[in-house]
Amino acid sequence: MPNVFAAVFHPPTLDDLFTTNADRRLANMKVAIQQAHGVLAAYAGMMRATNPFYIFTAPEYSFVKSCTGSKSQPVWTLHTPTEKKAIFEDLRALSGRYKRYLIAPGTLAWCQPRKTSPQDKTHDGWNSAPIFYEGKLKHEYDKIFDDGSFSGKTQTVIFQKGTKSQLFSVESLKFGIEICGDFNDGNLSKEARPESLDFEIMLSATNHHQFSESAIPKVPVKNGGYFIHTDSDKPASCGAWCVQRVAGSHGVVIPSRLNGSTVFDPWTGRMLTGENLGQKLSAGTVLLITSINSNPTGSFQKRDDLRSSGSAPVLGMARQRAGSLPMPGLPKPSPVQTTQFRLSLTADPAAPHFDSASGSYHVEAAATLYTSGGAGVLANQQVVFSAANGTVQNPTQWTNGQGVAKATFRGQKNNQPLKINATFSGVTATCEAKIDTLGAGNVSKMARLQPETVINLWSYYLPI
């Protein structure tokens, strides 16, 4: 496998139909293709890649001739065969400027007159995805899945299912292409052998793929190959994923041992939530923080600071009995108050985050003292922190005006779990933290540059 550099271009194609004419959309696409190659080539140079291979993808319905009506009731006009040929020729010529640059510029909706016309349907229509490579139309695929766009957005066009293969090769690399709902129907996996492809390219307008357990058989990509998805509606669905079975875990099925824990990316300290796109919970490690006993209750006693209301006699006043002098009044003992409290303990990753070389990681624990019923907080109280299978910095802390005391803990991957304790007035709250390596899974996120964004429409991805 060569070094792969992929640019995923995801403009809102359906919205653009109302604001941008066909000529401008083609011009924007050509600019995107050229700019993407420049950026990817620059990254390849920085990485000193000796065998770079570049890929450009764009969403479904990049090319529709025109759109009128409203967003709730759009009316499409599709390209003619002559217009389709001209657009393809323009893009083919552009691809001839580049070496080892595969261009999948989305899909083009077109139609031609029917030989026989049932009722008012006068045209047959196709949704076609071209593939250009080094000045050639390398492949052309017509969508199989009928999403209802032609019947709902045109008055005269009957959608025609594609009959062309979804498979093609470039050099020694094996590709499969699918358009939107083709993925849901598993059309590519019906044609390709399991785990046989180097690349699966998915072009969609509003298909937010889910890497659920049931969807994995629809990805006939070999381990180490790539699933590349570009969608016009949801940027989170766009990206390039490296397929690595039994080396990652994510999706709608979270491993049972992660349940009940808060899951973090140990490299950044960010919480991982709502993970079903294979972007966050990736092959490798996660940091789990689990509440063991986080809200225990108790009580403590303290004396009221108010003195007795009784006042001392005025000095020098003679008592009625002879020979006696007045004595100052003694203060009464302060009354003892019993205060009920609740001790809450939370923990979050803290910098420096996980160090793969030493196996160490840091967690900041926050203990909060609440009065009975949670009506208030207790300030200026001493909390003692302690650790098992780890260390704690400055274990004795005082609560601030919000009733919070904090301490930083250090754990080790090879000595787990890190047990975090906070104790006040004989009551202890406990959390556990540990670095966990994910087990058997399906598709892992592809390692990539930190977000490289141009006009909020780009994503650039690098190889693992």
Domains of the chain: 3-245+443-461 (3.60.110.10), 287-300+338-437 (2.60.40.10)
CA distances from 391 to 388, 411, 427 (A): 7, 7, 20
CA 111 to CA 308: how far, in whole Å?
97
Q: pTM score > 0.85 for this model? A: no
CA 287 to CA 438: how far, in whole Å?
10
Q: What is the pLDDT along the chain (464 residues), one digit of tens a residue?
A: 778 888 888 888 888 888 889 999 999 999 999 988 988 888 788 778 888 899 999 999 999 999 998 888 999 999 999 999 999 999 999 999 999 999 999 999 999 999 876 677 899 999 999 999 999 999 999 999 999 999 999 989 999 999 999 999 999 999 999 999 999 999 999 999 999 999 999 999 998 876 666 777 889 999 878 889 899 988 777 888 777 665 444 444 456 667 788 888 787 788 876 555 555 554 457 889 999 987 899 998 875 554 333 333 333 333 344 444 455 555 666 677 888 999 999 999 999 998 888 999 999 999 999 997 667 999 999 999 999 999 999 999 999 999 999 999 999 999 999 999 999 999 999 999 999 876 544 454 443 333 333 323 333 443 32
CA distances from 206 to 53, 210, 230, 300 (A): 28, 13, 10, 59
CA 354 to CA 62: how far, in whole Å?
42
Concatenated DSSP letters of 124-138: EEEEEEEEEETTEEE
For all residues of the chain together, what is the average pLDDT? 83
Q: What is the structure's pLDDT at 66?
A: 93
CA 15 to CA 408: how far, in whole Å?
49
